[in-house]
Amino acid sequence: MQESKKYWKGIEELENTPEFAKAAHNEFAEFLPVKETYGSDAAEAEVAPRRDFLKLLGFGLAAATLASCEAPVRKAIPYLNKPEEIEPGIANWYASTYFEGGDYNSVLVKTREGRPIKLEGNPLSGVTKGGLSAKAQASVLSLYDTNRLTAPMMNGKATDWKKVDSEIMSRLTGATGKVVVLSHTIISPTTKKAIAEFGGKFGSFEHVVYDANSASGLLKANDGTVPGYDFSKAKVILSVAADFLGTWISPVEYAKQYIQTRKITKENSDMSRHYQFETNLSLTGSNADVRVAIKPSEEALVVAAIYNKVVGGLNAPAYSNKQLDKAIADLMAARGNALVVAGANDQAVQTMVRAINQALGAEGTTINTNAPSYVRQGDDEQMVRFVREMNGGGIGAVIFYGTNPVYDHPLSADVEAGMKKVGLTISLADRVNETAKLANFICPDHNYLESWNDYMPKKGYMSLAQPTISPLFRTRQAQESLLKWAGNNTSYYDYLKANWAGITGGNAGWDKVVHDGVVENVTLNQEVKTYAPMTTAAVGVALNKSQKAGIELKIYEKVGIGQGGIEANNPWLQELPDPVTKATWDNYVTIPRSMSVDKGIAQNDLVKITAANGKSITLPALIQPGQAKDTVGIAIGYGRKLAGKVADNVGENVYPLATVADNGISYNTTVTIEKAGGEREIAQTQTHHTIMGRIVVQESNLNQYKKDPASVTERITIATPDGPKKPSAVSLWQDYEYKDHHWGMVIDLNSCIGCGSCVVGCNVENNVAVVGKQEVLNRREMHWMRIDRYYSSDATREDGFTAMEEPSDNPTVIFQPMLCQHCNHAPCETVCPVLATTHSTEGLNQMTYNRCVGTRYCANNCPYKVRRFNWFSYPDNEKFTDVNYAQTSDLGRMVLNPDVTVRARGVMEKCSMCVQRIQLGKLEAKKDKRRPVDGEIVTACAQSCPTNAIIFGDMKDPNSQIRKVMEREQGERAFTVLEEINTQPNITYLTKIRNLA
Tell me which residues touch other proteins (CB under 8 A). Answer: 67-68, 71, 73-82, 87-90, 739-740, 836, 838, 840-842, 844, 846-851, 899-902, 912, 915-916, 919, 922-923, 925-927, 929-931
Tell me how far, at minimum, the Cβ of 112 lies from other proteins, in Å: 11
Which strand (E) or helix (H) includes residue 8?
A: strand 5-8
CB 148 within 8 A of CB 447: yes
> Shortest gap between Cβ of 86 and other proteins (angstroms)?
10
Please, which residue, 470 or 507, has the CB nearer to other proteins? 470
Tell me, rounded to whole angstroms, the distance of Cα 1 from its chain centroid: 34
| H or E, element range at 406 | helix 405-408
Least Å distance between CB 851 and other proteins?
7
Cα–Cα distance between 636 and 214 in angstroms, integer? 12
Nearest distance, CB of residue 67 and other proteins, angstroms = 7
CB of 402 to other proteins, least distance (A): 34
Q: What is the spatial distance between Cα 434 and Cα 416, in angstroms, rounded to a whole number?
A: 9
Residue type, 58: G
SS3 43: helix
Give 88 or 724: the residue with its C-beta nearer to other proteins. 88
- By beta-carbon proximity to other proteins, the closer residue of 291 and 741 is 741
CB of 930 to other proteins, least distance (A): 5
DSSP 845: E
Q: Which is nearer to other proteins, 862 or 915 (CB)?
A: 915
Q: Which is nearer to other proteins, 275 or 743 (CB)?
A: 743
Least distance to other proteins, CB of residue 850, Å: 5
Q: Nearer Cβ to other proteins, position 38 or 79?
A: 79
Q: Which is nearer to other proteins, 68 or 507 (CB)?
A: 68
Q: How far is CA 163 from CA 158, 175, 484, 751, in A?
A: 11, 18, 13, 55
Look up residue 202 and give its amino acid: F
Q: Which helix (H) or strand (E) holds 351?
A: helix 347-359
> For 295, phi and psi rounded to 5 degrees?
-80, 155
**Least Å from the CB of residue 870 to other proteins:** 14
Q: Rounded to the nearest whole angstrom, what is the least distance from the CB of residue 73 to other proteins in the complex?
A: 6
Q: Are strands 273-278 and 290-293 parallel, antiparallel or unpaired?
A: parallel
Computed from CA positions of residues 223, 225, 230, 234, in that sequence, does the dihedral angle turn out positive or negative?
positive
Dihedrals φ, ψ of 556, to 5°?
Answer: -130, 170
Q: By C-beta, is 89 or 723 nearer to other proteins?
A: 89
Residues facing 673 on adjacent strands: 609
How far is residue 548's CA from residue 396's CA, in Å, rounded to a whole number?
A: 41
Q: Which of 917, 918, 770 is nearest to 843 (CA)?
A: 918
- Alpha-carbon gap, residue 327 to 238, rounded angstroms: 8
DSSP states of 131-161 as a string? ---HHHHHHHHHHT-TTS-SS-EETTEE--H
Query: Closer CB to other proteins, residue 571 or residue 921?
Result: 921
153, 197, 158, 161: which is closest to 179 by C-alpha?
Answer: 197
Q: Which is nearer to other proteins, 39 or 89 (CB)?
A: 89
Rg, C-alpha atoms of the chain = 28
Residues 510, 175: Cα–Cα separation, whole Å: 39
Query: Among residues 693, 752, 639, which one has the least CA distance to residue 989?
Result: 752
Type of residue at 69: C
Is the separation of the CB atoms in 750 and 993 below 8 Å? yes
Q: For other proteins, give the closer residue by CB, 111 or 686.
A: 111
Smaller CB distance to other proteins: residue 387 or 911?
A: 911
Whose Cβ is closer to other proteins: residue 51's or residue 75's?
75
The smaller minimum CB distance to other proteins, of residues 28 and 857, is found at 857
Instruction: Give the amino acid at 251.
Output: P
Residue closest to 922 by CA, chosen among 936, 932, 935: 932
Q: How far is the CB of 837 from other proteins (least distance, A)?
A: 9
State how far Cα 874 lies from the chain centre: 24
**Least distance CB 990 / other proteins (angstroms):** 27
Minimum separation from the CB atom of position 638 to other proteins (A) = 36
We find the least distance from the C-beta atom of residue 766 to other proteins, in angstroms, to be 9
Between the CA of residue 732 and those of 12, 738, 840, 864, what are the distances in Å? 37, 19, 19, 20
User: Residue 25 or 75: which CB sits closer to other proteins?
Assistant: 75
For the bound state, the minimum distance from the C-beta of residue 954 to other proteins, rounded and expressed in Å, comes to 12
Closer residue to other proteins in complex, CB, 113/630: 113
Q: Which is nearer to other proteins, 604 or 916 (CB)?
A: 916
Backbone torsions φ then ψ of 130, nearest 5 degrees: 85, -5
Distance CA 811, CA 791 (A): 6
To other proteins, the closest distance from the beta carbon of 480 in angstroms equals: 25
User: E strand or H helix at 492, and its extent?
Assistant: helix 492-504
**Minimum distance between the CB of residue 894 and other proteins, rounded to whole angstroms?**
16
Surface-to-core class of residue 83, CB atoms within 10 Å of its CB (0-12 exposed, 13-18 middle, 19+ buried): exposed
CB atoms within 10 A of CB 542: 18
Contacts of 423 (CB under 8 A, 6+ apart): 171, 175, 176, 177, 396, 397
**Beta carbons of 489 and 198 less than 8 angstroms apart:** no
For residue 734, the minimal CB distance to other proteins (Å) is 17
What amino acid occupies position 440?
Answer: N
Query: How are beta strands 616-623 and 605-611 bridged, if at all?
Result: antiparallel
Which residue number, 483 or 847, has a Cβ lying nearer to other proteins?
847
**SS3 label, residue 305:** helix
CB of 838 to other proteins, least distance (A): 6
For residue 538, the number of C-alpha atoms closer than 13 Å in the C-beta half-sphere is: 11
